[in-house]
Structure 1
Amino acid sequence: MKKIIIYLSIMLLPIIAIGQVDQMDKQTMEGIRASIDSAKSIIPTNKQSLLRDVDVIFNTRMGLDSYFTDGNHDITKYTVNQFRFEIKGKIHEKVSFRFRNRYTREPIPGNLDNMSRAVDLAFVKVNLSERTQFSIGKLCADWGGYEFDFNPIDIMAYNDIIEYADNFLVGAGISHTLENKKQSFSFQILNSRTKTYEEQYGDTAPPDIEPSKMPLAFVSNWRGSFFDGKFETTYSYSFFNEAKGAHMNYFALGNKFKPSDKFVLYYDFHYSAEELDRKGIVSSIISSQYQYAAQDALYVENWLRAEYAATPKVTLLLSVFTSCHSWKDNPDSNADTKLSTSYGLIPTIEYLPFKDINMRFFVGYVARKYDYTSYAENAFGVKDYTTGQLSFGIVAPLLVL
């Protein structure tokens, strides 16, 4: 009998041991769960709900670029053309923010606004009512025209006015949308530039012009939607107090035509009359004969972009634009005020491989031609030239949170 009991004990010992291990495992797991439940989150629980209203975006364009001048190959290299880190969201029922930093520009603070030029946007928006918002900080100037309305990663090359302008300025603005939600209006008061007058113009500042004590810009915009969204507009007028007795008047008229879901056509008209040349293009043309910034410079531009969705994954794009540069204050009364015209052509193909992420592969070519008048060639020694850029790569606003 004793032998039987001993044999049974030996046989049951592993089972008893396993049962004890299982019990220990259960106790261990319960202890771990209790520890997890009692541990504090890095982000306090009462603040975790804020993350639902926050977006973190990597605005990216990168790839392989080949550059050409007058038909000759200059260099081929991989380039990060755009990388703009953006975070935006709501921090209160009526308060939101937006911040965007450009990592493809040197972070040099402007000595007028004390803000790094690498920062595009850094502002707070307050909802004064359901349809009225107030914003303050570094803002995007609310200029009309769709060329400037696009996310910068979607533009391979800008026309001259936007390329050479200060597009992001510190100030405040208010916007209001009408009850039908088809019309909206905005008004901004901004610094007219990021730098002081002395830094902006330096030795090229005309001796008969003095800096203004209020270097401010006033920007007004109207956006409209008609015919069930088939025709939309974004028109603006801006007044820049550049210096005493020297102002800039800028008109931008943007038009969007969408006759079908597959085809969209954009047309912008820009007119910038500058009593002191802010863009610097006219000044650079006449610099061999005149050491100061040009006065009464005029820039007139046209910009056209067509988009056609050939398939759900393939989109064909074509941008065509011109920019005319004139010097109305030319002391040579017999000369034509027009000095040059630049032309641009950008055919592009984009391929969207994934349905659930806006990441596109693209191939595009930027062809530019700079054509000077006979007068400009003879008087200032400038010569016509062309540039080209062939690009393969990816473009994506990568939403990581």
Structure 2
Amino acid sequence: MKKYWIYLIIGLIPIISMGQKVETQTNEGNLLMTDSIKSLIPEDRQKLLKNIDVIFNTRMGFDSYFTDNNHDISNFKVNQLRLEMKGKIHDKVYFRFRSRYTREPELGSLDNITRAVDLAWVKIDLATRTQFSFGKLCADWGGYEFDFNPIDIMSYNDIIKNADNFLVGAGISHTLKSKNHTFSFQVLNSRNRTYEEQYGTSAPPSINPSEYPLATVVNWRGKFFEGKFQTTWSYSFFNEAQGAHMHYYALGNKFKGKNFALYYDFKYSDEGLDRNGIISRIIDSQYQYAAQDALYVENWFRGEWAVASKVTLILSIFNCDHSWKGNPDPNGSSKLSTSYGLIPTIEYMPFKDINLRFFAGYVARKYDFASYAENAFGAKDFTTGQFSVGIVAPLLVL
């Protein structure tokens, strides 16, 4: 079905253009019998299309991969291709749909929608500054790492990388009269799949699935000093299973100057049952079940500097500590590993009237295991690398 949407959109473009051209020529009187030509799309529908955007969010290029400084493979790849349609269909009603073509269309057994669909929601204005949303939503987590368009992130830190970021549910948001502060509240499914599919045979026998696998997310977005300093902070509570909950804090901060921007995120995920999965993978040689009482603490920095009108330098630096608070070994350590990331990137934008950029960047990752994890579970330090050159753009085609 997805390809038929594309064909329909491509087919509509010349039809809409014909209708607009005929109207201009009729007004100028430059074409005989123009009045007898009518657009195939009714005028009221043309007005509707003016409020709708169709975007191909794209990142593609040539990638080279490395493990422990040894070259693995180099190949062309479409890293991101997400079709997005959004707009206003009524004075108080909006919609947004985004589907990912770089992910298997696996049906979510809990929410009954393919995981390849990021967004599918309707938003209604309840009042001047209050809106209600329903459908498959973007979890309104704090932090700017997740706020970026996915095409602008070469590699995510561990929490976002392993999370279910798009969940079915409902939300309400309200912006204060000053327009400097917005508060939102969401109630969502806690995951896309059922508990049995999420954990499988690794589900601890002492834990039972919850009858209400839901999550609540509270977010505050603030602006200070005429927007030079901004925040997006959130707290999330996930009812993952009976007696096993997840508390997630994300504090995002942004400072914007004349030709530069700085971002800093702090994230803290306290998981009664290891939802992230990194701790469980480390200990699986000795423990067959998912870890209980896992903790992930992250820092994420990003700097952007426009060194020229068409050239931007970007540097991302991040780390994540992985701890097992529930380690039953009395002589063991809770902290098992730390991951590090460094992503220097240069972007060149050749055109002023379209957001299309050529880029070159390198993703360097290092995974450093504690001596206890090395001795008890056979873990070994390793590094990965990815050098990429290509094109990134949100292509607005309608």
TM-score normalised by structure 1 residue count: 0.91
Q: Which amino acid in 2 is paired with 1:252?
A: A
Counterpart position of 1:378: 375
231, 246, 260: which one pairs with 2:244? 246
Counterpart position of 1:294: 291
Q: Partner of 1:296: helix, strand, or coil? A: strand
Counterparts in 2 of 1:88-127, with a 5 A limit? 88-127=86-125
1:308 aligns with 2:305: yes
Rounded to whole Å, the distance in 2 between the matches of 1:350 and 1:107 is: 32
Q: Partner of 1:206: helix, strand, or coil? A: coil
Rounded to whole Å, the distance in 2 between the matches of 1:139 and 1:93 is: 21
| Residue-by-residue CA offset, 1:87-125 (whole Å, 9 max, x unaligned) | 000110000000000000011110000010000000000
Rounded to whole Å, the distance in 2 between the matches of 1:280 and 1:198 is: 15
Q: Partner of 1:392: helix, strand, or coil? A: strand
Rounded to whole Å, the distance in 1 between the matches of 2:35 and 2:373 is: 81
Counterpart position of 1:394: 391
| Residue-by-residue CA offset, 1:306-360 (whole Å, 9 max, x unaligned) | 0000001000000000000000110112211000000000000000100000000
Counterparts in 2 of 1:314-329, with a 5 A limit? 314-329=311-326
Rounded to whole Å, the distance in 2 between the matches of 1:233 and 1:144 is: 8
Rounded to whole Å, the distance in 1 between the matches of 2:128 and 2:58 is: 33
Deviation at 1:140, TM superposition (A): 0.1
Unaligned runs of 5+ in 2: 1-30
Counterparts in 2 of 1:2-401, with a 5 A limit? 30=32, 33=34, 35-37=36-38, 41-258=39-256, 260-401=257-398
Q: Which amino acid in 2 is paired with 1:366?
A: V
TM-score normalised by structure 2 residue count: 0.91
Counterpart position of 1:8: none
Deviation at 1:45, TM superposition (A): 2.1
Deviation at 1:35, TM superposition (A): 4.2
| Residue-by-residue CA offset, 1:214-242 (whole Å, 9 max, x unaligned) | 00000000011111111110000000000
Deviation at 1:42, TM superposition (A): 3.1
What number of residue pairs does the alignment pair up? Answer: 368
Deviation at 1:43, TM superposition (A): 2.1
Moved >6 Å (runs of 4+): none
Rounded to whole Å, the distance in 2 between the matches of 1:232 and 1:398 is: 27
Deviation at 1:167, TM superposition (A): 0.1
Highest Rg: 1 or 2?
1
Counterpart position of 1:10: none
Deviation at 1:44, TM superposition (A): 2.2
Q: What's the C-alpha RMSD, in Å, of the aligned pairs?
A: 0.9
Q: Partner of 1:355: helix, strand, or coil? A: coil
